Structure 1
């Protein structure tokens, strides 16, 4: 992972940098979209693209910061797990798409007659580390421990 910055400024600072860059480029007569400047700022900080930078950058003082490769634990469909974050994607409004590889497969079925073991799961979590989607008893599908 050479060339990747481990100390990103908060996402609000990254967005402010993109706005300043766009203004400077427009002042020089170059037309450029805001999304293009977000990509340039992300690359300037050693990130592959804006989604990666947004997922890795601190979201705010009250939000937990989830990072690629981070060890996590929590509950999936009511079952405890430990694992590693394999993927992150910014979804907007403080939400993240997260892919987790479980250390030990988790059985997603409560029936004594059969099993459905999952080694990996993808979900969208909020700043609190849990999904909006819930099981029939109101338990979030995925809940990461803080």
Structure 2
């Protein structure tokens, strides 16, 4: 078990599997079962352990790289807010990114604000079904 999100997904799957067998439990009960399956006394204990062991993948002033609307970028996180299991990030690109695929005109962006999950992938999709933003820490 690596993260709170993974534990919650496991609890959701456990609840669905038990429900399919005719055993109804609530979400809190499934979280408690997952905690015990993973060697913790209760859900609060497991949650605290996972939070302690899970570094924030994204943070203020962090150098990042990735793809925005299909275009590669490098830049810096200049603002960040935690929104449940997501982050709202503002990224300033090192070089402006052309967000238009047309050969007839361009639209350059130097800074964006978007929501990404803990893996740095936006839930918002482009018309071709790809994530609008994929961001990851820059390694040196």
Aligned pairs, how many? 89
Provide Cα deviations, 1:52-100, integer angstroms capped at 9, x if missing partner.
Answer: xxxxxx95646652111100000000000000000001111x1010000
**Paired residue secondary structure (2:120):** coil
- Describe how 1:113-124 pairs up with structure 2 within 5 A: 113-124=104-115
Cα pair distance change 1:91/1:113, threshold 3 Å: same
**Unaligned regions of 5+ residues in structure 1, if any?**
1-11, 13-57
Distance 2:70 2:133 in 1: 8
Distance 2:127 2:90 in 1: 23
Q: CA RMSD in A?
A: 2.2
Provide Cα deviations, 1:88-114, integer angstroms capped at 9, x if missing partner.
Answer: 01111x101000000000001000000
Q: Give the TM-score of the pair, scaled to structure 2.
A: 0.58
Rg larger for: 2
Distance 1:130 1:97 in 2: 11
**Unaligned regions of 5+ residues in structure 2, if any?**
5-49
Corresponding residue of 1:97:
88
Distance 1:78 1:124 in 2: 16
